[in-house]
Amino acid sequence: MDEKISEGCRAPTRKGDKHCLQELRIVLLGHNWLEKSLTGNTILGRQMFDVSRDVKMCVRRQGVLNDDRRVIVINSPERWIQYSVQDPGLVKNNMSACLAMCLPGPHAFLMVIPISSHRGREWTVEGPLELLNDTVWRNTIVIFTRSESPPISMLRILIVGPNQVGKSLAGNTILGDEVFPAGVPTSQCTERQGDVHKKQVTVVDTPGWHGRYCSEDTPREVQQQITHSASLCAPIPHAVLVVVRSDETFTGTDRLKIEEHLSLLGVWSWTRTIVLFTWGDKLGVTPIEEHIEQWPALQWLVDKCGNRYHVFNNSSKDVDIQVRDLLAKIEETEVGNDTGHLLHSLMKLQERNRKLDQSSKKSTRLLKKARMDNDLLRQTFEDKEDIIKTAEEKDEQIEALKATIEKREIANKVQQLEAGWIQSWFSVGGVVLGAAVGALAGSSRMATGLSTRSAVGAAAGALLGSLLVQGARPQQRKTE
């Protein structure tokens, strides 16, 4: 990496001008992707870097300046250089990736640092660059940036906190007048206004909640007053001042109390909260930062508020300067919220579009699958209908066949019965006929004195009677 940087610093120059390079290769370092992107766009003279989102890789952009010089700008990933880097190899890998994009090597590293009065931003140049070598340091230029925005002419400030921490006194200090009764518990939300440093400032004082020394929960009436207080700063407060005494301990119970009561305002409250320490004169020569670090719960609160805090020392003669600095921090908070809200909205929009695209693709797949399932179901239904129709036809054929068989069986039985009846009739008739003939022959031989004609009549009558009897029996059977 040293060789690449050295070669970049010895890049060729224009003929006859040893101070003007034909090509400039620059690597941007820093914590904030937005600030680095804006710096890169300023150098290139147009919007080349996307400021709507941060990226996790090095990005290369290039352009031509007015003097026809070619400029290459490499933007490094956001926060890849951090105060507590767990893996030093990460810095080396990312630096190698940046250098590979601007061979034979960069001419300069620009360390971009946004100007801010918030504690903790200076870490960008304190510890992390110790991981870089001396060659990088010799070719590094520090650039301080500050986002300019129109001044805010009106500020809305909401003051909250437990009992007896100096909320009303803080309101009087901000407005520069005794507008809130100090030393008396506040029973309901109170709104006061005033002109402070050429700004119209509205301050809303709220009833205090029960602190850790009170075993009872905060009354519901007080909770309702805190919830109602935000409406007095409509549409939304520029800042929520959480008042904490600087001469007292701060425990986990105090932290939980603040979390509980800030939740009454809504999730937006943390993005606009500033910790306001009162009784600053009680600290003596102890810096407020040292006091914060003594109490983990207090350090958590300050970090939760984005490192936004301020100290009021009413015994000092520079109270007016303290108020001016507080208003400046409130304006910075508002500007930061606007920028952060814009970036957050853009990122949410991109994420929503991505999810919508995925949902559309998924819906298309589901619709296609549903159509296939419907086609399969319709085909199955049609096949079942054919099967049912075929089964019904077979049932009808079977029933017809059964009827035919039954008719044939009945006809056969009738024929059999008729054949048996005729055979029986002839058999019986023959017997009767024989009997009649025998009777006729016998009667002719009788000497009883009957005439032959009478005997024949008797025999014929006997034969006819027998036939009538035999003919009546089959008819009786058929009837049965």
- At 421-450, the pLDDT tens digits run 656 655 555 555 555 555 555 555 444 444
Structure tokens that stand for 283 in this block: 């600290």
What is the SS3 assignment for 73? strand
Q: What is the CATH number of the domain that holds 245?
A: 3.40.50.300
Q: Which of 316, 340, 358 is the last residue of a domain?
A: 316
159 & 308 share domain:
yes
**262 falls within a domain:** yes
124 & 163 share domain:
no
**140 falls within a domain:** yes
**345 falls within a domain:** no
Query: CA geometry: angle at 391 spanning 389 and 393, to 5°?
Result: 70
Note the pLDDT of residue 224. 92
Q: Cα 359 vs. chain centroid, distance in angstroms?
A: 12
190 & 309 share domain:
yes
Indicate whether this model's pTM tops 0.75.
no
Residue 111 buriedness (CB in 10 A; 0-12 / 13-18 / 19+): buried
For residues 206 and 163, is the Cβ–Cβ distance under 8 A? no
Q: Which of 316, 335, 351 is the last residue of a domain?
A: 316
161 & 14 share domain:
no
Q: Which of 122, 145, 168 is the last residue of a domain?
A: 145
Of the candidates 63, 148, 71, 61, the one whose C-alpha atom is nearest the C-alpha of residue 107 is 71
Note the pLDDT of residue 170. 95
**401 falls within a domain:** no
Q: Which residues of the chain fall short of a pLDDT of 50?
A: 1-16, 18, 82-85, 117-127, 339-343, 345-346, 445-450, 472, 476, 478-480
What's the total number of domains in the chain?
3
133 & 191 share domain:
no
161 & 304 share domain:
yes
Please write down the long-range contacts of 125-128, taking CB distance under 8 Å and 24 or more positions apart: 126/83, 127/83, 127/84, 128/81, 128/82, 128/83, 128/85, 128/91
User: E strands, 65-103, where?
Assistant: 70-75
**363 falls within a domain:** no
289 & 229 share domain:
yes
Contacts of 214 (CB under 8 A, 6+ apart): 163
Q: Which domain holds residue 290?
A: 154-316
**Omega of the bond leading into 104 within 30 degrees of 0 (cis):** yes
